[in-house]
Amino acid sequence: MMTRKLPIIALATAPGRSGVGVVRISGPKLENIIWALFKKTLTPRQATVLTLRDASGRVIDQLLAIYFTAPASFTGEDVVELQCHGGPQLLELVMKRCLILGKNEGLIIAQPGEFTLRAYLNNKIDLAQAEAIADLIDAQSEAAVLGAARSLQGAFSDDINSLIEDITQLRILVESTLDFPEEEIEFLENAQARSRLEAVSSKLATLRQGAQQGKILRDGIELVLAGAPNVGKSSLLNRLAGEDVAIVTPIAGTTRDRVKESIILDGVPMHIIDTAGLRDTNDELEAKGIERSWGAIRLADLVIFLQDANSQNDTVDELREQILREIPPKCPVLEVGNKADLLEGVHLKNRLNQEISLISAKTGEGVEALKSKILTTIGWGGTQEGAILARRRHLDCLDRAADHLHKSEEFALNGNSSLELFAEELRLAQNQLGQITGKLLPDDLLGKIFTQFCIGK
Ligand SMILES: Nc1nc2c(ncn2[C@@H]2O[C@H](COP(=O)(O)OP(=O)(O)OP(=O)(O)O)[C@@H](O)[C@H]2O)c(=O)[nH]1
Ligand SMILES: [Mg+2]
């Protein structure tokens, strides 16, 4: 995939009926293909009405073509976009005809993400921007669209590059001292080096925080509603979703399988999972459901441990222990007491003597406050202004960069300081940052990233 130089073609618009369907072709040289298709040469960047005919001269479609010549195009190669009528059969005929007439030039069907890959390989965009294109297409909320657009404009990449530049300057400073061992100690005590390192660390911390928000905005949160049977988990799901997605009955053990519903909370996609009530049971079907509840808890980003505010007993403590054992590391648990409408003036406290949120899934009381609490618990700052969109991959690179910076600090500031190791850790930190924009990315990772794109992009 990495080295294909042949011209490629794909439907750029979604399959199905639509007003217009766009077929896109990109390749090192498209003049011959254009001639083969239309017996015409096209003026670049000018819309031209053309007729595409089948082998026996019958008109397949009258379409609008726009031709971009390399390097001034999306991919950096020659690109021609054919705006056809948007019928699925028609577009298939157009594609087939193009493939036949472009055969001599080696025209082939594009792989997912191949147009964007070529844009990346031709330095039209960096890797973070290429990912932002896919994220823009997949964005699940308005805030995610704006964040992806900002990343695509290069906001994230600019921050990364500026940090890389700062580290480069620091490395130049260090490496120029390396040849003079007697100056090492002096250097490491040099306030300038130290304050620069601190500045780099704090810049990285800010970037990490932004990327964490960006990851939440992109992927949303797996929010699992867990608790004993009959406490009102399904009722809460329905309340949050604003519709009856799960069955609610007074019978304990109503929910047998996970029910998932996604909502947008303050721009953040929340994938809410209602689960079967947790208890010991001899019912085979219910037991299977409960096993799935635990499965969901093990993959949660946030667990709401729902309780009946009116009947607190030992099983609550037992269940809490169990849930805390099963959740993934760093997954917060929010304890919530439901059925507050039946409660009179009592406030619930959990084992840690913290007051827990009280709500009524039935009347809606406390649910707005719970929504805000959910957002603060997952660390959502609520500042969408200036937000970028980020991926797990970016966060991992930033985390590793932070580790290396931290180590470099130790080598610089501890008793057993070593300038070589200090410089090496700086290099490794820089390496991790470079992977975000793709400058220093292993080839196999590149393939993985682009195959997740949709076809035609
Ligand atoms: N008064 C009152 N009743 C509620 C409230 N929330 C739920 N209920 C009732 O409690 C019963 C159980 O509600 P569900 O939402 O099915 O409870 P669940 O936790 O999903 O139960 P399982 O699926 O069996 O685990 C139903 O009769 C609901 O109407 C509430 O806030 N106040
Ligand atoms: Mg239920």
CATH at residue 52? 3.30.1360.120
For residue 2, the model assigns a pLDDT of: 56
How far, in Å, CA of 358 to CA of 240, rounded? 15
Ligand 1 and 281: CB distance under 6 A? no
Tokens of 177: 């001292």
Ligand 1 and 213: CB distance under 6 A? no
Q: Whose CA is nearest to atom 32 of ligand 1?
A: 339
Ligand 1 and 111: CB distance under 6 A? no
How far, in Å, CA of 227 to CA of 308, rounded? 9
Residue 383, domain member (yes or no): no
Residue 52, domain member (yes or no): yes
Mutation to probe ligand 1, out of 233, 248, 290 (largest number of atoms < 8 A from CB): 248
Q: Which ligand is nearest to the CA of 276?
A: 1
Cα of 230 vs centre of ligand 1, distance in Å, is: 5
Ligand 1 and 391: CB distance under 6 A? no
DSSP result, 8-31: EEEE-SPSS-EEEEEEEEEES--H
Q: What are the C-alpha distances in Å from 240 to residues 6, 218, 273, 308, 404?
A: 51, 20, 11, 18, 42
Ligand 1 atom with the shortest distance to the CA of 276? 25
Both 157 and 280 in a single domain?
A: no
Last residue of a domain, one of 325, 351, 377: 377
How far, in Å, CA of 378 to CA of 391, rounded? 16
pTM of the predicted model, to two decimals?
Answer: 0.82
Ligand 1 and 337: CB distance under 6 A? no
Both 245 and 349 in a single domain?
A: yes
Structure letter (DSSP) for residue 457: -
How far, in Å, CA of 385 to CA of 109, rounded? 40
Residue 210, domain member (yes or no): yes
Both 244 and 188 in a single domain?
A: no
The closest alpha carbon to 292, from 276, 316, 272, belongs to: 276
Ligand 1 atom with the shortest distance to the CA of 306? 19
Ligand 1 and 311: CB distance under 6 A? no
Cα of 435 vs centre of ligand 1, distance in Å, is: 49
How far, in Å, CA of 368 to CA of 364, rounded? 8
Both 229 and 371 in a single domain?
A: yes
Ligand 1 and 230: CB distance under 6 A? yes
Residue 190, domain member (yes or no): yes
* Cβ count within 10 A of residue 135: 26
Tokens of 395: 């966060």
Ligand 1 and 234: CB distance under 6 A? yes
Cα of 184 vs centre of ligand 2, distance in Å, is: 66
The closest alpha carbon to 113, from 454, 436, 445, belongs to: 454
Last residue of a domain, one of 125, 152, 181: 125
Ligand 1 and 239: CB distance under 6 A? no
How far, in Å, CA of 186 to CA of 184, rounded? 5
Ligand 1 and 253: CB distance under 6 A? yes
Checking DSSP bridges between strand 357-358 and strand 333-338, what pairing results, if any?
A: parallel
Domain count, the chain: 3
Query: Which structural domain, as residue segments, surrounds residue 406?
Result: 133-216+389-438
Position of tokens 């009926």?
17
Both 227 and 372 in a single domain?
A: yes
Both 190 and 103 in a single domain?
A: no
pLDDT in tens, the chain (457 residues): 456 889 999 999 998 999 999 999 999 999 999 999 999 999 999 999 999 999 999 999 999 999 999 999 999 999 999 999 999 999 999 999 999 999 999 999 999 999 999 999 999 999 999 999 999 999 988 889 999 999 999 999 999 999 999 999 888 888 777 766 666 656 666 667 788 889 999 999 999 999 999 999 999 999 999 999 999 999 999 999 999 999 999 999 999 989 999 999 988 999 999 999 999 999 999 999 999 999 999 999 999 999 998 887 778 889 999 999 999 998 999 999 999 999 876 556 665 566 788 999 999 999 999 999 999 999 887 766 778 889 999 999 999 999 999 998 888 766 556 788 888 999 999 999 999 999 777 777 787 888 888 877 8
Both 56 and 28 in a single domain?
A: yes
At 402, which CATH number? 1.20.120.430
CB 94 within 8 A of CB 105: no
How far, in Å, CA of 457 to CA of 448, rounded? 15
Ligand 1 and 289: CB distance under 6 A? no
| Residues contacting residue 60 through CB under 8 Å, at least 6 positions apart | 52, 53, 54, 90, 93, 94, 97
Cα of 249 vs centre of ligand 2, distance in Å, is: 8
How far, in Å, CA of 450 to CA of 1, rounded? 10
How far, in Å, CA of 449 to CA of 445, rounded? 6
The SS3 call for residue 131 is helix
Position of tokens 């990343």?
151
- CA 361 from centroid of its chain's CA atoms: 31
Tokens of 63: 């379409």
Phi, psi of 231, deg, nearest 5: -80, -15
DSSP H/E element including 34: helix 31-38
